[in-house]
Amino acid sequence: MSEATATASESPSDASDASETTGGSETTEASTTRKVRKVREGVVTSAAMDKTVVVTVIERVRHAKYNKYVQRTKKLYCHDEANDAGLGDRVRVMETRPLSKTKRWRVVEILERAR
């Protein structure tokens, strides 16, 4: 029994040593990981450009003084590599690096096709 206790006491110290050695690499991995990117859903309002669509995103915000919900719209210029999104489609877009003067978003998926 004394041998079992000796091995049990050795294993936790070995585990702590292992965590100390991997702890340094975990912090470097954490520093190289990207931030969480913004994801929005909206409706395609223009698909006339090549590989670019304009997506209108509606955001409901509570008014500070009147406590009434107000709709705020944003027009996002999004990159659509396959030219797949059409006018009236509901799409999910994700923030990305600047692709041009106005394009900072890309189409991730088409949620619903226009009828």
pLDDT digits (tens, 9 = 90+) for 24-74: 555 555 568 888 999 999 999 999 999 999 999 999 999 999 999 999 999
Please report, for the chain, the start and end positions of each structural domain, with discontinuous segments joined by +.
Answer: 1-33, 39-112
What SS3 class is residue 24?
helix
The 3-state DSSP composition of the chain as helix, strand, coil percent (nearest 5) reads 25, 40, 35
Report the phi/psi class of residue 51: left, alpha or beta, with left for phi > 0 and alpha for psi in -120 to 50: left
* 8 Å CB contact between 80 and 56: no
Q: Pick 39-112's CATH classification: 3.40.50.300, 2.40.50.140, 1.10.286.10, 3.90.650.10.
A: 2.40.50.140
> Which two three-digit tokens encode residue 106?
């890309």
The pTM (predicted TM-score) of the whole model is: 0.68
Report pLDDT for 40. Answer: 96
